[in-house]
Amino acid sequence: MITELHTEWTVQDICSGFVYNELEGKGLFGMDGKLTIQPEYQRNYIYADGKKDVAVIDSVLKGYPIGLIYFNRTENGQLEVLDGQQRITSLGRFITSRFAIKVNGMEQYFRGLSQEQQQQILNTKLLIYVCEGTEEEIKAWFKTINIVGVPLNEQEKLNAIYSGSFVTLAKEEFSNSQNSNIDKWSSYIKAVANRQEFLACALGWVSKGNIDGYMSMHRRDDNINELKTYFNSVIDWVDCVFPEVYSEMQTIEWGRLYEEHHKKPYNPKEIGVKVAELYADEYVRNKKGIFEYVLGGCVDSKLLEIRIFEERDKKTVYTKQTQEAQAKGVSNCPLCALGNDNNKTRIWKITEMDADHVTAWSKGGSTDISNCQMLCKVHNRAKGNK
């Protein structure tokens, strides 16, 4: 790989003919079209938070260095930004007056700055390495230099490694914060579009967790039909089956639940009533588990982490049960006492027993002392959730 250091290019040179795509939040071109600011393996612009972008301009105004910038020279002689896209986009957006900075406590856009200040920014020289090498070399190197600033997350790294037509199309759909579907998606997925989190979710679903393999396989595809169709099927299914939206829905593994349950018929009205009932049930400690519990036919109450009995209630019940059993000469486990084996008269220690709902929680039984009995561990397990 060949590298050459450029110290003569100014902010004005780099930002000349700056093109910014407001919809996608991308700096597109600079140097009068010669520089591609956001090649497809780059992440979306995430400096527009009024802090990082302002800090870039402050640094330039104070004469502080803003760090090394790396360009890659492509085969046709064009340049693309390898590292520095966020900083260049901040500079370009500022000198085209898209955001303001505070100067002596006053909000100032570029066009409102004094001539000297404008010139100071435009004439600032940047430190830029231009590299030439194979795609593999450049990508390997890009991964090592991208350790400054906000680190790339897993999906952003995968987008860089598997860059190509598939990633470009997938980002247009899933990483575009202007996509009008994002509101709907956000009911069921906790994600930020420009950090590639919806994309990661969609890929995780369609690939059943093998995102890496899926991206590699589809890298050169000229469409994202399967990815999009599968994702929409999952979202539409959740949307149909559960008429109400609850905040816990954002943390559910919908991809897995869709695979397990989408072929069964459900009555959304009944489901809605059941879910609301469980949400109102103070014994249900794990609200997140409600959706899977209901989809599974309200059988596996372990998912709900039903409130358990207090230690002191268990002790009280154990003592009473044991005294009565000893008086009668039978086991202190009422189910053992009914049997005919050696345990019929066995007195269990409290550590050998578990608390059980006399009337099951699912049949309306409460979790207080009046509904508590101690069973030996074997009988308690056998009784299970019946």
* Residue selected from 335, 347, 360, 369 as contacting Zn ion according to rule CB under 5 A: 335
CB of residue 238 vs Zn ion: minimum separation in angstroms? Answer: 43
Q: Which is nearer to Zn ion, 184 or 383 (CB)?
A: 383
The answer to whether the CB of 176 falls within 8 A of the CB of 193 is yes
- Rule CB under 5 A: is residue 298 a binding residue for Zn ion? no
The answer to whether the CB of 17 falls within 8 A of the CB of 31 is yes
196-202 CB contacts, 8 Å cutoff, 24+ apart: 196/43, 196/153, 196/155, 196/156, 196/159, 196/171, 197/155, 198/174, 199/155, 199/159, 199/170, 199/171, 199/174, 199/175, 200/154, 200/155, 201/231, 201/255, 202/170, 202/174, 202/227, 202/228, 202/230, 202/231
- Rule CB under 5 A: is residue 336 a binding residue for Zn ion? yes
Euclidean distance between CA atoms 133 and 221, whole angstroms: 25
- Rule CB under 5 A: is residue 275 a binding residue for Zn ion? no
- Rule CB under 5 A: is residue 355 a binding residue for Zn ion? no
* Residue selected from 333, 355, 372, 374 as contacting Zn ion according to rule CB under 5 A: 333
Q: Which stretch binds Zn ion (CB under 5 A): 100-108, 115-123, 129-137, 329-337?
A: 329-337
Q: Which stretch binds Zn ion (CB under 5 A): 204-212, 247-255, 276-284, 331-339?
A: 331-339
Q: Which is nearer to Zn ion, 153 or 380 (CB)?
A: 380
Q: Which stretch binds Zn ion (CB under 5 A): 42-50, 93-101, 129-137, 334-342?
A: 334-342
3-state secondary structure of 28: strand
Q: Which is nearer to Zn ion, 215 or 353 (CB)?
A: 353
Strand partners, 284: 306
Residue whose structure tokens are 């002790």: 315
Residues numbered 362 to 381 that lie near Zn ion (CB under 5 A) are 376, 379
For residue 87 the two structure tokens come to 């900083």
Residue whose structure tokens are 């209630």: 313
Q: Which is nearer to Zn ion, 148 or 358 (CB)?
A: 358
If phi > 0 it is left, if psi is from -120 to 50 it is alpha, else beta; for residue 8 that is alpha
Closest CA to 79 of 110, 37, 40: 37
Q: Which is nearer to Zn ion, 175 or 331 (CB)?
A: 331
CB of residue 292 vs Zn ion: minimum separation in angstroms? Answer: 31
- Rule CB under 5 A: is residue 337 a binding residue for Zn ion? no
How many residues form the binding site for Zn ion (CB under 5 A)?
5
For residue 176 the two structure tokens come to 């575009």
Residues numbered 8 to 47 that lie near Zn ion (CB under 5 A) are none
Q: Which is nearer to Zn ion, 98 or 344 (CB)?
A: 344
- Rule CB under 5 A: is residue 353 a binding residue for Zn ion? no
List residues binding Zn ion (CB under 5 A): 333, 335-336, 376, 379
